[in-house]
Amino acid sequence: MVRRAAFVYGEALSRHTLSEVHPMKPIRIRYTYDLLDELGAFDATEVTVVEPRIAEQHEVLRFHNEAYVRAVGILSRGDHLSNPDEFNFGSGDNPVYTGMYEASMLSTGASLLAAEMLVRGEVQAAFNISGGLHHAMPGYASGFCIFNDPVIAIQYLIKQGLKVAYVDIDCHHGDGVQHAFYDTDKVLTISLHESAEFIFPGTGFTHEIGLGRGRGFSVNLPLYPFTTDGLYLWAFREIVPPLVRAFKPDVLVSQMGVDSHFADPITHGALTVQGFGDVVTELNDLAPLWLGLGGGGYDLQAVARAWSVAFGVMSQQDFPEQIPTVYREEHGVSSLTDHNDMQIKDSLRSDARVFAENSVQAIRGLIFPTHNIGVV
């Protein structure tokens, strides 16, 4: 049975360019839509494609400070700003580009619209692949992210009286979301990511467990480079389902970056599309309502295939393995899942296993008692 699900999409979400050499390519949003369309994902009567809306400034100001939001607008218009470095804009991760304010307000509005549809009871699951920009901080841009749409959407859900669990499977730690909710027990945040010992943003260690009322509600599961499907899924199952079920959320918000894929050019991930899909499937029954967001992912076809698989899970549809002809001929990919993977040395596999086991054990000791989960 197909679940009532919404896919938030408009061509404007994929039109902007951060820079010619920047790894974040918004065209991946259009590729995903095109692939899903050819797979027949939007033909189901229970599935709705909805145009995004633009976020209101007061909505963005729930998390970001006024000086920062004003600076983004000034730089977006091409006007001079004497201190762009103060807001972490420059030629590297966070370049200034024309229209960045409008693009960021649109992707944020798309996440808010998805959340609103859930609250109104129009759908049970909603997916905004342009969202998931989890690094942005209240007063500065970070890690390709300008406005933190996961935080803003979660704040909206909380305001509606809903209990929210946030699960982040991006290869990078969801530091901006953790920062927003670090001292509250109203949101359970869980991030699975490549360890900060090896990759940006340098946070997300197991000892980061929250402060005050939030102690025990910030969960970090760092993993070793080249963690493969089976080990990743094992670690996920050991931690995420028991914690989310103990928390009993009304809504699950999942950030589903695809930069843990073995073909990603800027991380050390080793997941396949089917491994990614297996993890998304684990999320399927953890809450009555599900807000899915995009995130990282810099191999464009891995992203399009993985997010297509994810929406299949969210809408409870099975897609054929063979990529439809038009998309296959345009993009040179023939199958939805991967038929090869990364060759990894046994020593690396062993190191990854030990690292994952240590992370899991640390979380059991630091976090599980807060939620009255027995430690075996």
Q: CA distances (Å), 88 to each of 32, 102, 148, 158, in order?
A: 30, 18, 15, 29
Q: CA distances (Å), 121 to each of 116, 132, 156, in order?
A: 9, 22, 15
Q: Which residue has the tokens 């995903």?
A: 32
The pLDDT of residue 82 = 85
pLDDT at 375 over 70: no
In whole angstroms, give the CA distance from residue 47 to residue 42. 6
Return the active site residues: 135
User: One-letter amino acid identity for 291?
Assistant: L
Residue 366: how many other CB atoms lie within 10 Å: 17
In whole angstroms, give the CA distance from residue 302 to residue 91. 26
In whole angstroms, give the CA distance from residue 58 to residue 43. 36
Q: CA distances (Å), 209 to each of 19, 183, 188, 309, in order?
A: 36, 10, 10, 32
In whole angstroms, give the CA distance from residue 55 to residue 101. 11
Q: How many domains does the chain have?
A: 1
- CATH code, domain with 193: 3.40.800.20
- pLDDT-derived band at 18 (thresholds 50, 70, 90) equals very high
Q: CA distances (Å), 26 to each of 175, 232, 347, in order?
A: 22, 27, 37
The answer to the question of residue 217 being in a domain is yes
In whole angstroms, give the CA distance from residue 315 to residue 226. 30
Using the 8-state DSSP alphabet, how is residue 375 labeled? P
Question: Span 81-86, mean pLDDT?
Answer: 90
Tens of pLDDT, residues 331-368: 999 999 999 878 999 999 999 999 999 999 999 999 99
The answer to the question of residue 166 being in a domain is yes
pLDDT at 2 over 80: no
In whole angstroms, give the CA distance from residue 85 to residue 89. 5
pLDDT at 376 over 60: no
Q: Which two structure tokens, joined as six digits, stand for 256?
A: 């589903």
Tens of pLDDT, residues 183-240: 999 999 999 999 999 999 999 999 999 999 999 999 999 999 999 999 999 999 999 9
- pLDDT-derived band at 284 (thresholds 50, 70, 90) equals very high
The answer to the question of residue 265 being in a domain is yes
DSSP run (H or E) holding 353: helix 346-366
Tens of pLDDT, residues 113-150: 999 999 999 999 999 999 999 999 999 999 999 999 99
Tens of pLDDT, residues 38-64: 999 999 999 999 999 999 999 999 999
The pLDDT of residue 341 = 77
Q: 3-state class of 137 per DSSP? A: strand
Task: Point out which residues pair with 7 in neighbouring strands.
Answer: 49, 127
Using the 8-state DSSP alphabet, how is residue 140 labeled? B
The answer to the question of residue 212 being in a domain is yes
Tens of pLDDT, residues 152-182: 999 999 999 999 999 999 999 999 999 999 9
Domain with 144, as residue range(s), is 5-51+111-371
The answer to the question of residue 299 being in a domain is yes
The answer to the question of residue 95 being in a domain is no
Confidence (pTM): 0.97
- pLDDT-derived band at 287 (thresholds 50, 70, 90) equals confident
Mean pLDDT of the chain: 96
The pLDDT of residue 340 = 81
pLDDT at 289 over 90: yes
The answer to the question of residue 310 being in a domain is yes
Q: Which two structure tokens, joined as six digits, stand for 46?
A: 């229970």
The pLDDT of residue 362 = 98
- pLDDT-derived band at 285 (thresholds 50, 70, 90) equals confident
The answer to the question of residue 89 being in a domain is no
